[in-house]
Structure 1
Amino acid sequence: MNLSTALVALDLSPAEEPMTGCLGELLDWGVRKLVLAHVIRVGYVEGAGYGHEEEHAAWLERRAAPLREAGFEVAVRIRDSGDPAAELLQLAREEGAGLVVIGSRSHSLVHDLFLGSVAREVIRKASIPVLLERIEPTGEATEKRCRVVCRNKLQRVLVVTDLSPAAEAAVEAGAYLAGRSGGADLLAVLPEKELAADTGLRRKTLEALERYLARIRDAGGDGRAIVEAGDPAQSIARIADSAYSLLVVGKHGRNWIESMVIGSTAMAVSERARIPVLVVPGR
């Protein structure tokens, strides 16, 4: 993985401010350049930020200063577009970014459109990994009182795979991060009916996961294989929240993974998990 440059999508709301304080740990991911980006929505109804570009640039520059002191090269970019998600991804391509970082708010903050529909569109259309940072309300559930779930995301990584060829990229990302972290575990969730119909399925799945674990060990990490029976979304969120600091999922595995990640159902892992989620597109 080449994560030397990361594009950070910001909407300049009060909830975004604490998120920038979590970016320093991306140095441990191999990120050396950050592109702080804000897209002003234009169209039939102009976005609230239209005509305030200088003010927004100043806001971004204030957030860039401590990041430069931390050792990052930081660029600030402001665009306007009727399709913010497409504009962010175009900017990521122009900057040579290997990662997009965007906030993901809880359901209590559904009034914000940028971190709802735009975040999902970024995930759906992205051809590079997308890191969803959790932003949660504190105190009263208002936009002005938020905190980001800021922690050492590499402390313990959980990689979800359905063992399909398209999920290989997520395993590779997990191996890359495991070499820089305390390790990574691999999780496969199987429907109970499949396990009941094939008594050897759990054993075969564990064997396949063990082969994947060899990549993690080769990268310098450790880990274990986990096979869970039940509803995928519920199982993944429950296990991820129990002991992990980062969840890595593939975007183009079986349909249940793709649909959950892009938030097309209420069972979406990106909405259920209380920890950051790294969404990795398949090849």
Structure 2
Amino acid sequence: MFKFNFQSENQDETDTISDDLKSSGKTSLQEIDGQEIEISNDHFQNLKQYRESGSSTNLVRGFHLVDLKHVEELATSQKSGEYESLKTAIEMNSDVISGVYEGGLKIWECTLDLLDYLNKESVQFEGLDVLDLGCGAGLLGMHALRKGAQSVHFQDYNAEVLSLCTIPNVILNNSPDVKSKTKFFAGDWGSLHDKLKSYDIILTSETIYNPENYGKLIKIFEDTVKKNGVIYVAAKHFYFGVGGNVYGFENLLRQNERWNTSICFCSTEGVKREILKIVQSADQNH
């Protein structure tokens, strides 16, 4: 069975990122050109039909998410040349195929960690500009919208994920005027620098599993975080078989005196998971 499933809220997930990357024989991301995916009337119409058909939604941490069986059916029913990355993932029964499909339709456990942390610590979003980087289903960005963010930009490697999953989820959980507060960008991080703006808060989860992509990720941070901005990176402590790990990523950041880092959360059960909080040093803000 294809693994486009939602993680149950009390279930430990195995390290499928590592397993799938090893089986695919690829690690680094291919640089897909960046593009903006706009919310269209088709998105609203398709979602209206989805509701009228009686199709169920999945409730995750208070957010209604489109059923991924429906997403799979949409992807596989399209003519040749459309949604090819998702079709390939379905055929290979894989959560991640590096350079093809980056796992955007799965709710990863670290995303729930970060969502819970933001709630528990009452992190403020009112009037702020937020980037949900590697957004997948869009839970983190939708949380920011719910808490009063001025604008939220969602980024995912795959345009299909944004069109079939993220945008419908955002529409489901917000009023129609959400279009004026949101933008959606697809593509490799290296191709997005001229499209993204400056953000008060950057939220990202399960994006440091591959050390080969650290440079691109840090460049996004350098180019887009505001002087007094905050970055939250949720990740497993170590990704076996791939090499990514929180300690290595944090050490790379600390080589540049621009950044101050701290671990603000560490899991106590199951696979060790952490949240890294990143701010700019006081010297950079003068």
TM-score bin, normalised by smaller chain: 0.3 to 0.5
Q: State the structure with more CA Rg.
A: 1
Which one scores higher on RCO, CA 8 angstroms, separation ≥ 6?
2
* TM-score normalised by length of structure 2: 0.35
* TM-score normalised by length of structure 1: 0.35
